[in-house]
Structure 1
Amino acid sequence: MRSLEEKAFRLLSGVVEADLLHLYLRLLATGGYPADEASGFLGGTDEVSSLVHAGMAQVHEPAADHPSRLIPVPMDVVLQHTLVGLAQEALADYERLLGGYQRMCDLSATTSPVAEPSVGQLARLITDSDEVSRLTSTLLGSVQREWLTLSNHTPTEAVEGVSGAVAPSPIERGARCRAIYDADFLQEAATRDKLEVVAETGTQVRILPRVRMSLALADEATALLPLTSSETAGALFVQSPVIVGALREYFELLWEKAIPFGGTGRNSTGLPEIHIKILRLLVQGLSDEAISKRVDLSLSTVRRHIKALRESLGIKTRFQLGVVAVQQGLVD
């Protein structure tokens, strides 16, 4: 593969469909074909139409004495055209998800749990704000693997809610916490400070220009969606595996597009603060039991963190972990 095709492959691979990319590279390698012969070189009229429809090829009409040619569109233009198409598809998926979410809210608000008990098992509308708070605390306290949150509250609404949205307790139990916030959070110093606090606990924080819904996902098993309607206060509690799975996929789509927030929950060593605390105590010679008391975590959680440290640093023994921590400047 020549340099031009290699450059196009690196630029477009994984973004453009593989079959289209293969045809485009063939066209790029030759610089084009006579328009009336292109289908023969590329495998058929459907292939030619697909390239043109995808914005990857165009028919060039030269001077009257020369036949028209099918030529490749510049690769940077192809990339831009493809990204626009992908963005439009993502937006369409986004709108469908929001529409489904609104229908679920309407269904839960109007369906009798006696007449349709299955609906109550899949989703339940909670209008009591105190009950929503209790349920949120319960979910946070039960998370074992991952806690994911989206937030689209305005900065004035967020001041009270940001730090509460992602509590440090799941991280202390070894769970992973990720949060996506609306860019409006960056407009006010108070909300920026709140985001810094969230990030410093070890939560991975990212920002999107616009977040159109709020939600919390616990261990891929349950979802809590605060209602945004001005007429209804509360949240929708979802336990349907299908709906929770769709919300998880939606979160991951947004996560890929979001921009990492300045704080990462890690210091200059790249390790979470809880790992640094444990390392410092370990270097001082404290036992697992003593470390557990000093950092106010269970013994099993401390041992899980130590195991994670050994694995991340490629170290087999506790003694080696302490030595390497000092040698690499991970602790003072």
Structure 2
Amino acid sequence: MADNEDVELGADTGLGAGNPLDPDLVAVYQVLLEAPLTTEECSDLVGRPLTSELERLAAMRLVRPSLVEPGRWETVAPDAAIAAILAPVQARAHALALHSDAVRKTLGGLETLYQAAYRKQYAQSSTEIVRGGDQVRQRLSDLATRATHEVVAVHPTMAPVEVLRAGLELDRGLLDRGIDYQVVWPHSARRQQDAIDYMRLLRDLGGTVRTAAMLPSRMILLDRSVALIPLPAEEGPGAAIVRDPVVLDFMVRIFEHIWERARPVEEICYDTTVFGEIELAILQDLAGGHTDEAIARRLGISTRTLRRYLTTLFERLGVETRFQLGIAAMRAGLIQEEDEGPGSPCP
């Protein structure tokens, strides 16, 4: 409505842009404040011929032809001019407000029907399968719109910058509505400038961000009543939307376990503590027999970066082979050998 009113008032009165009055108009108005005048008399007192000034003032409802002295112009009180100009605008605003209320009452009555049908649709199954990246993003957007108090998320890898940008509107919308938003990313995000910028932005908007050395899987929980988890890789892009209370309770416990052990993102840095947690995770996975590719994937880093970590560990513990590295790590108390046999990861 505002844009239309600006156009209309701008055409009729010249007031739509909200700019100060033209000084020439103010000068003419001041002269007329002394007494009603003809156009010629007003021109003489202003000291120049008047062209459109009086018509412009009349359009602003600040002057009008005199009611008692025909042929002369007289001033109108600014309050009266304001009331005359705004009366139709306020009437239209009132009409639009009534219309808005009517729309809400008419269409809002369908919400109960929609919710009932929605619950019935998924009553037979507590899990909904959504296939395709676009479809998953759409369902996540729909569910996020219905969130009322809390959204928590775990992301074992940092998404590409274009995906982060696409998700910013959704994240910002949650935080603008006062939703408590908690998210955990891998420590490796602290070394990616795009990731650092996004974490800072999310934190500044009111989100709470932490990082951890290794995260088990991607998950998003909304109001602890629905969750999204990825489908197995062999099934292609997609997600399972889970509503089973028992499964959700288990997932909440997993998130809380991760959250308690993750490091808060305050001053974003890659300090010795973060570095040490990544090294410890590498040693534990090596003891568990994981391949370089699997370890790198679990840490959210490249295999080349993983091998740089290994080189540092070799130098620090004074060894040359992975077998020697495992022995040295156990002797240093970094990992433990389980009763079930050598090579078991520490509990």
TM-score (norm. length: structure 2): 0.39
Bigger Rg over Cα = 2
TM-score (norm. length: structure 1): 0.41
